[in-house]
């Protein structure tokens, strides 16, 4: 794979790509981003990702400088130039470059950046390693539905998780209410029903989350988009995480305590298989 970047209409080697030191994304975190998984050279659920990207930009009052169709064309060309067959496309939009000031600059052009990275082929389901999580207080702001580049609280929490030998930190707010992970949505089977936090301002409603919810509804699996607390998480029979890069990832232990059932449990495994089916339908002939 060649590491290629695209910035405001220009392709270059990723190592040579540059933005201004006064870019508001660099100085103030004034921007949004998106990550799009690529399988077999085809972006997965591209329309859904670009629509969320547009909504995030709209939420912080940045006008996207390119249309959805134009961005699709750039992504297609970037995949070809990068030879990105199994990886992801990263997109970042900032308000642009201007003298440092908290106020929005009057005359500034937004900066749109894209580049691709390789991830490797999707592993067989039996090769997916169930992971451990820890729980930590959710110290982020109250607009988590916006996919902003302000990720310092997420980074600090995920670092604590890594240092504890865990893949993810599951975050909770007042009353022990579980929201989501630092880079994932969290699902749990509690009293025979699948539960996950509803799509409010307290979570980033993931594209993979939406796919999993759709699969559950089609399968008529008992489902509640209803928040649960730490005590309920601890008593859950199954827990899994969803994200663009993790897909559906089974959890075997939370805060060092093994779950009731070995992971992946029956519901999680069905979802893993069905999610692979969605990937096959969109991007591949057979990944299962």
Whether the predicted pLDDT of 1 surpasses 80: no
Distance between CA atoms of residues 86 and 242, nearest Å: 18
Distance of CA 212 to CAs 57, 103, 207, Å?
Answer: 25, 40, 9
Whether the predicted pLDDT of 219 surpasses 50: yes
Q: Can you state the angle between helices 207-218 and 266-282, rounded to 10 degrees?
A: 110
Asked if residue 14 is part of any domain, the answer here is yes
Residues 85 and 134 in one domain: no
Sorted by sequence, the CB contacts under 8 Å of residue 154 that are 6+ apart come out as 140, 182, 183
Work out how many domains the chain is built from and give that number.
Answer: 2
Asked if residue 79 is part of any domain, the answer here is yes
DSSP-based three-state secondary structure for 21:
coil
Distance between CA atoms of residues 94 and 54, nearest Å: 12
Residues 101 and 135 in one domain: no
Percentage of the chain lying above the pLDDT 90 cut: 94
Asked if residue 154 is part of any domain, the answer here is yes
Asked if residue 67 is part of any domain, the answer here is yes
Residues 137 and 277 in one domain: yes
- Tell me, what CATH number does 55's domain have? 3.30.470.10
Percentage of the chain lying above the pLDDT 70 cut: 99
Residues 112 and 198 in one domain: no
Residues 180 and 234 in one domain: yes
Residues 260 and 169 in one domain: yes
- Tell me, what CATH number does 222's domain have? 3.20.10.10
Tell me the pLDDT tens digit for each residue of 254-284. 999 999 889 999 999 999 999 999 999 999 7
Distance between CA atoms of residues 9 and 73, nearest Å: 11
Residues 225 and 271 in one domain: yes
Does the predicted model carry a pTM greater than 0.85? yes
Asked if residue 288 is part of any domain, the answer here is no
Tell me the pLDDT tens digit for each residue of 36-88. 999 999 999 999 999 999 999 999 999 999 999 999 999 999 999 998 899 99
Residue 67 structural domain: 4-118
Tell me the pLDDT tens digit for each residue of 134-145. 999 999 999 999
Tell me what the pLDDT averaged over the chain comes to: 95
Asked if residue 201 is part of any domain, the answer here is yes
Segment 189-211 shows an average pLDDT of 98
Residues 97 and 218 in one domain: no
Tell me the pLDDT tens digit for each residue of 77-99. 999 999 889 999 999 999 999 99
Known catalytic residues are 147
pLDDT of residue 288: 42
Sorted by sequence, the CB contacts under 8 Å of residue 42 that are 6+ apart come out as 282, 283, 284
Whether the predicted pLDDT of 287 surpasses 50: no
Asked if residue 200 is part of any domain, the answer here is yes
Decide if 108 contacts 95 (C-beta within 8 A).
Answer: yes
Residues 103 and 209 in one domain: no
- CA-wise closest residue to 170 among 155, 159, 162, 158: 158
Residues 132 and 220 in one domain: yes
Residues 162 and 179 in one domain: yes
Whether the predicted pLDDT of 285 surpasses 70: no
Residues 131 and 240 in one domain: yes
175, β-bridge pairs: none
Asked if residue 287 is part of any domain, the answer here is no
Decide if 188 contacts 194 (C-beta within 8 A).
Answer: yes
Distance between CA atoms of residues 181 and 226, nearest Å: 16
């Amino acid at each position: 794979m060649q590491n290629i970047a695209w910035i405001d209409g220009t392709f270059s080697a990723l190592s040579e790509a540059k933005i201004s030191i006064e870019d508001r994304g660099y100085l103030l975190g004034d921007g949004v981003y998106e990550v799009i998984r690529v399988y077999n050279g085809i972006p997965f659920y591209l329309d859904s990702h670009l629509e969320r990207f547009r909504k995030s930009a709209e939420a912080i009052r940045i006008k996207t400088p390119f249309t959805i169709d134009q961005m699709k064309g750039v992504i297609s060309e970037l995949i070809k130039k990068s030879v990105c067959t199994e990886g992801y496309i990263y997109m970042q939009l900032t308000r642009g470059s201007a003298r440092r000031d908290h106020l929005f600059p009057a005359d500034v052009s937004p900066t749109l950046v894209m580049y691709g990275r390789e991830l490797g082929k999707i592993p067989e389901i039996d090769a997916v390693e169930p992971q451990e999580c820890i729980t930590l207080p959710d110290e982020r702001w109250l607009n988590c539905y916006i996919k902003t580049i302000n990720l310092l609280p997420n980074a600090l929490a995920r670092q604590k998780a890594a240092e504890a030998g865990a893949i993810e930190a599951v975050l909770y707010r007042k009353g022990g209410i579980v929201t989501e992970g630092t880079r994932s949505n969290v699902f749990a089977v509690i009293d025979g029903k699948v539960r996950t936090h509803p799509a409010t301002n307290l979570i980033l409603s993931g594209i993979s989350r939406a796919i999993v919810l759709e699969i559950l509804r089609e399968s008529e699996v008992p489902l509640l988009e209803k928040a649960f607390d730490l005590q309920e998480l601890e008593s859950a029979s199954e827990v899994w995480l969803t994200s663009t890069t993790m897909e559906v990832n089974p959890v075997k232990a939370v805060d060092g305590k093994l779950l009731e059932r070995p992971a992946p449990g029956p519901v999680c495994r069905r979802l893993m298989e069905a999610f692979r089916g969605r990937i096959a339908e969109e991007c591949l002939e057979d990944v299962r």
